[in-house]
């Protein structure tokens, strides 16, 4: 059995969804960031950085969302990550775009929101960070104007992670304008039973109008 340490609605939701997509046996351990549960001694023993997600299998923790997703999708041979060739490279590119480009862009925004005290400086920095996030969504829409999904004709893990991250946008000081192609993919992804179940279990409302 897998044990997933998660915080509702965070990037850990992507792993929660994938565990359900593949019908795997797992349990969830609420490690709410807002409630400070990620600072407990138990969790810090698994991840001294106090970050979710952490997946534990047979007593062994795996950290970093991208690593966890690749491990699970490879081990259980999911179509969400092709096994080889250019299709795999494209799927990994889409996943890493979400994990290493889009996610950090939001993280920078939220860090600035919490840590910049001067209000004028704070607003200027948040506006710049939000504009950068908008540019990334514009790039995604341009790609999705050419392909059905981020990695081509088939839904892959990158599309699921993209939908998870999109739902963070309602916390920004200015609304993100999602293109029609991005919204098309988000609609397809969030309608999947595994996604809907994860939203329900984590008590997360999907707020992006898609």
Locate CATH 1.20.1050.10 in the chain: 85-202
Distance, C-alpha 92 to centroid of its chain: 14
Q: Supply φ then ψ for residue 58, to 5 degrees.
A: 50, 40
At 209 the pLDDT is 72
At 174 the pLDDT is 87
The rounded average pLDDT for each run of 10 residues, N- to C-terminus, in the chain (210 residues) is 97 98 97 95 94 97 97 97 97 98 98 96 96 98 98 98 97 93 98 98 90
**Which residues does 34 contact at the CB level (< 8 Å), separation at least 6?**
7
At 210 the pLDDT is 66
Helices (H) and strands (E) in the chain, counts: 9, 4
Task: Report the distance separating Cα 38 and Cα 104, nearest Å.
Answer: 19
What CATH topology corresponds to 2-75?
Glutaredoxin (3.40.30)
Locate CATH 3.40.30.10 in the chain: 2-75
> With contact defined as beta carbons under 8 Å apart, do 61 and 54 qualify?
yes
Q: For strands 26-30 and 2-6, give the pairing.
A: parallel
At 61 the pLDDT is 97
CATH code: domain 85-202 is: 1.20.1050.10
């Amino acid at each position: 059995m897998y044990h997933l340490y998660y915080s509702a609605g965070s990037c850990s939701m992507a792993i929660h969804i994938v565990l359900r997509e593949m019908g795997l046996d797992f349990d969830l351990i609420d490690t709410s960031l807002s409630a400070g549960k990620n600072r407990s001694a138990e969790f810090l023993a698994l991840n001294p950085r106090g970050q979710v997600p952490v997946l534990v299998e047979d007593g062994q923790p795996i950290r970093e969302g991208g690593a966890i997703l690749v491990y699970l999708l490879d081990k259980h041979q999911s179509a969400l990550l092709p096994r080889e060739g250019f299709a795999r490279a494209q799927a990994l590119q889409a996943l890493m775009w979400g994990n290493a480009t889009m996610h950090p862009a939001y993280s920078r925004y939220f860090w600035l929101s919490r840590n910049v005290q001067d209000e004028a400086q704070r607003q200027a920095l948040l506006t710049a960070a939000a504009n950068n996030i908008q540019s990334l969504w514009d790039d995604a829409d341009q790609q999705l104007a050419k392909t059905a999904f981020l990695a081509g004709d088939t839904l892959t893990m990158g599309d699921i992670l993209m939908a998870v991250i999109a739902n963070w946008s309602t916390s920004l000081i200015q609304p993100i304008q999602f293109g029609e192609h991005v919204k098309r993919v988000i609609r397809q992804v969030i309608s999947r039973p595994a996604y809907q179940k994860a939203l329900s279990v984590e008590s997360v409302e999907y707020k992006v109008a898609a």
